[in-house]
Amino acid sequence: MTLINVELPKLGETVEEGTITRWFKQVGDTVTVDELLYEISTEKVDAEVPSPVTGTIIELKVAEGETIPVGTVLAVVEGELAGVTPEAAGPKAQAQISDDPPQSSRETPTKPNADVTSTRSNQSTKRRDTQSITNDRRLLSPVVRRLIKEHGLELAGFQGSGRGGRITRNDVLKVIDERHRDGRETSSSQPSIETKPRTSGESNYVAFNSIRRATAGHMARSAHSSPHAMTVMEVDYENVEKVRSAHRETWRAEHGFSLTYLPFVMRAVVEALEEWPYLNASVEDEGLSVHTDINIGVAVDLNHEGLIVPVVRQADGLRLEALAQAVNNLASGARNRRLSLDDISGGTFTISNNGAFGTYTTAAIINQPQVAVLSTDGVTRRPVVVTDRFGNESITVHSVGHLAMAWDHRAFDGSYAAGFLTTIKRAIETRDWEVEL
């Protein structure tokens, strides 16, 4: 038997902290691998996390309601790892997706000891403003605390609709909406703005929220570690557009959402990754770790406050309809914070879908530790030269767009990147997509 530190695992690429909302075990209790240990709430997901170890809990170092950064030691267990590392707890987490996570009936766990408290003093200072919104003792998820702080609300008047009187996200949004209707708040859709004195008197200071800070750090590290190169290819989507037009109404009636270009691109990407496997890889030490599973991450905007990249796992086993349904479900879950930790981890290739905004070409930054990110930009109707089966050329109007890929020059060279994009282009332009539907 050994003493094992259980740490807060990575909770997605741009999540840097979380709030322990419930402990399922207390000091002296035994726990086994995959048995639920604690509940975590972050800006993006609420989830129940299983134990990565088997043994007896010696100490709980973080109290319910405390917000701590990724990597913080949560508990000390006397037991065995059983071949599972603490990091494995993240992907194995089971979702408890709700704006109203259940409130624990247990007593507050053992408080952190003096030496641990001293090592986290800087972290506590960083969180002081958020934690001191009021002296209210009710547990608040990060998203609730953020909304209360951004809109200058007071907790005293809140009647929480959650279990045990817990204040939920919907409770806060309801108050914000009422203030907006009464004309007491000029805007509830803009990011948090803190006004600081400026000599010119003509500018406002916009503070980065936690998602923005984490995204900035992740992107800066990516730009620093990967020698980014970029390859852009023009694609004629007319072959896809004909199928979309023919099935547009029946698809929406049957599925409840629009059939976009994205699932067609994803289908082509999956097959291209099978032919060009170094794109489905991660840089590891002095080489590449080439993945056997193809897990496609799709960047989703969170109301212009940050990004999250939910993952379609084993996308190589899905056809067009299943891919479209999976992306729609994940995007909806992301915007409503109804994703599990498993939904935002394990990606092997990322697609940044900016086309809905009509972009021309996007130079995206690689989602580490992956080696490439593909941007699907706007598709527009414009004149193109086509050649008939007799070799005669003519000008007609087609739906045309760009595929722009940023890639890590350590992993391969330009010809390999171009070959990958050519395979995608060929599939989009020539495949019988009608068969897929």
Predicted confidence (pLDDT) per residue in 285-335, tens digit: 889 999 999 999 999 888 777 788 999 999 998 999 999 999 999 998 888
pLDDT tens readout for residues 139-163: 566 667 767 776 778 776 677 766 5
Distance CA 296, CA 117 (A): 40
Tokens of 210: 């936690």
Look at residue 120 and tell me whether its pLDDT is greater than 50.
no
The pLDDT of residue 249: 94
* Average pLDDT of the residues in 1-26: 83
Closest CA to 417 of 320, 341, 349: 349
In the block, residue with structure tokens 């994940």: 330
Question: Which residues, at least 6 apart from 422, have a Cβ–Cβ distance to it below 8 Å?
Answer: 233
Question: Which residues, at least 6 apart from 381, have a Cβ–Cβ distance to it below 8 Å?
Answer: 397, 398, 399, 400
Selected from 3.40.50.720, 3.30.930.10, 3.30.559.10, 3.10.620.30, the CATH number assigned to the domain covering 226-436 reads 3.30.559.10
CATH 2.40.50.100 describes domain 2-119: yes
Identical topology for domains 2-119 and 226-436: no
The pLDDT of residue 341: 78
| Burial state string for 108-118 with b = 16 or more CB within 10 A and e = fewer than 16 | ebbebeeeeee
* Average pLDDT of the residues in 46-63: 89
Decide: helix, strand or coil at residue 78: strand
Q: In this predicted model, which residue has the larger pLDDT, 233 or 92? A: 233
Asked if residue 341 lies in contact with residue 44, where contact means CB atoms within 8 angstroms, the answer is: no
When pLDDT is cut at 50, 70 and 90, the band that residue 57 belongs to is very high
Distance CA 23, CA 404 (A): 45
Decide: helix, strand or coil at residue 435: helix
* Average pLDDT of the residues in 31-55: 84
Q: In this predicted model, which residue has the larger pLDDT, 95 or 154? A: 154
Of 113-122, 238-247, 277-286, 313-322, give the lowest mean pLDDT range. 113-122
Look at residue 28 and tell me whether its pLDDT is greater than 80.
yes
Q: What is the identity of the amino acid at 70? A: V
The pLDDT of residue 330: 92
When pLDDT is cut at 50, 70 and 90, the band that residue 217 belongs to is confident
Residues annotated as catalytic (active site), given as ranges: 409, 413
* Average pLDDT of the residues in 341-359: 89
Every domain of the chain and the residues it spans: 2-119, 226-436
Look at residue 84 and tell me whether its pLDDT is greater than 50.
no
